[in-house]
Amino acid sequence: MALIVAGLSHHTAPIEVRERVTVEPPEVPRVLADLAAETEAREVALLSTCNRTEVYRGEGARGAVPCVWSHLGSRLGSDIAGYGYVRRDREAVEHLYRVASGLDSMILGEAQIHGQVRDAWETSRATSHAVLNRLFQSSLDVASRVRTSTSVSRGAASVSSAAVQLSKKIFGSLKGRRAMVLGAGDMAELALQCLMSEGVRTALVANRTYERAVTLAQRHGAVALHYDVFWEHLSDVDLLLCSTTAPHVVVEREHVKQAMQARGDRPFCILDIALPRDVAPDVGTLPNVFLYDLDDLQSVVEANLERRKQELPSAEKLIAGEVEIFWTWVAGLAAVPVLRTFRSQMDRVREDERARALRKLSHLTPEDRTAVEHFSRALMNKFLHEPSVRLRAASANGHGLAIVDALRYLFALEPADGGSPENASPEDTPEAR
């Protein structure tokens, strides 16, 4: 049995690629069902956020990685393997543990990913069973331990707060400024909190569901707007932060152009932290308009990460220990049925040979026949004792899966699943770029 994760992230793909392959929550069940059917997978899960789209596959799939590239490539409209990476077995476990702990995030230690991993697990329950359920549950436990036992997340910036800090490059200080937030989700609320803490004088909140905008605005002393008229107020604000879940652009160039004509030479900062992006890219070509998206945040946060980076060795040591614990469990899970099959197959061979021998020894007394039966069983048990003991020991020390695969191959016990090394082709494993 093999465990595989295949996908892309902000490390390997620009925002214009990520936004086209992201899978929105309502789509997840259908995409999971398609992936499970196409690969004959017994276990598959999907994690799709603003910075990554990854497919996790447990046992029982064939051609899983090409299938992932094909599915994501169809969303992109071109080959996607060049943007992708594949992690197998222990590396796949380590990868999810790092992701859930915020160690693989654009902003080191950010907390939102923990909830996103939890939500991904919940929405994948129909196609995630013993191995993936334990993998995702343990990743959340490990992430909690990383946050509580290290300082890697202490004082960590979120995407929202980093975006607000980016706006200060334009205005210096936000005190007395006017801002508008599009959206009313968690990221939008974090952004609104950051804006208010920076001294923004007036904040407007617009959301497609007006009641949610009202609730968010009241909670933070802002003013709610109806979504269909937000663009009429663009000329009144200095900063626009966009964080909706719309699948298409909601802020067009013409909207901003009209606002800028009313603003004169005053600069206008737009922070687009949505994926897919809320703001048309050509908006940034307008005079005195400063448009930033998710990929622009990386340079902002780099300078503030040194202290948290010092905590990485402690966090990674913790994760390495937990990876071994998980993999030992997986190895034990795989070893038990294979060992049972091995002994059963060897017993059938013993029985066939005993019966063949006794047909040629018809003169034997019942007592002699019983002695032959005991001899054949004792001999088989002697032969199988040491391999059985060593297989169990290998499971306990983390080498069980390699021994299990060797046992399957040498004794033709059963076909190895699609994720086993002998079934992996070179094109399955692009290196992360």
- Is residue 319 a part of any domain in this protein? no
Q: Each residue of 208-259: pLDDT tens digit?
A: 999 999 999 999 999 999 999 999 999 999 999 999 988 899 999 998 999 9
DSSP class of residue 410? H
Q: Are residues 278 and 165 in the same domain?
A: yes
Over 50: is that where the pLDDT of 416 sits? Answer: no
- Residue of 50, 67, 194, 242 marked active site: 50
Q: Are residues 120 and 194 in the same domain?
A: no
CATH number at residue 248: 3.40.50.720
d(C-alpha 68, C-alpha 66), whole Å: 5
d(C-alpha 279, C-alpha 290), whole Å: 12
pLDDT of residue 103: 93
pLDDT of residue 402: 72
- Is residue 275 a part of any domain in this protein? yes
- Is residue 311 a part of any domain in this protein? no
CATH number at residue 74: 3.30.460.30
Range of the domain at 339: 333-427
> Please, what's the largest Cα pairwise distance for the chain?
113
pLDDT band at 423 (very low <50, low <70, confident <90, very high): very low
pLDDT band at 400 (very low <50, low <70, confident <90, very high): low
pLDDT of residue 38: 76
pTM value > 0.85: no
- Dihedral angle sign, alpha carbons of residues 73, 78, 79, 81: negative
Compare 394 and 28 and report the one with higher pLDDT.
Answer: 28
Which ranges in 185-311 belong to alpha helices (H)?
186-197, 210-220, 253-263, 297-302, 306-309
Q: Are residues 149 and 175 in the same domain?
A: no
Are 235 and 173 spatial neighbours (Cβ–Cβ below 8 Å)? Answer: no
Q: Are residues 351 and 339 in the same domain?
A: yes
pLDDT of residue 344: 86
Q: Rounded mean pLDDT of 339-365?
A: 88
- Is residue 313 a part of any domain in this protein? no
Angle at 19 between CA 133 and CA 208, to 5 degrees: 90
* Residue 368: other Cβ atoms inside 10 A: 12
Q: Where are the beta strands (DSSP E) in 58-201?
A: 85-88, 178-182
Q: Are residues 147 and 205 in the same domain?
A: no
Residue 90: Cβ-neighbour burial (10 angstroms; 0-12, 13-18, 19+)? middle
Q: Are residues 93 and 233 in the same domain?
A: no
Query: Looking at the 3D structure of the chain, how many domains does it have?
Result: 3
pLDDT band at 200 (very low <50, low <70, confident <90, very high): very high
d(C-alpha 184, C-alpha 206), whole Å: 8
Compare 290 and 383 and report the one with higher pLDDT.
Answer: 290
pLDDT of residue 417: 42
Are 193 and 327 spatial neighbours (Cβ–Cβ below 8 Å)? Answer: no
DSSP bridge partners of 5: 56, 87
Lowest mean pLDDT among 1-10, 352-361, 400-409: 400-409
Q: Are residues 93 and 215 in the same domain?
A: no
Q: Are residues 76 and 19 in the same domain?
A: yes
Q: Are residues 228 and 139 in the same domain?
A: no
Place of tokens 């061979």: 349
- Is residue 309 a part of any domain in this protein? no
Q: Are residues 163 and 151 in the same domain?
A: no
pLDDT of residue 427: 37
Q: Are residues 239 and 183 in the same domain?
A: yes
pLDDT band at 86 (very low <50, low <70, confident <90, very high): very high
50 is catalytic: yes
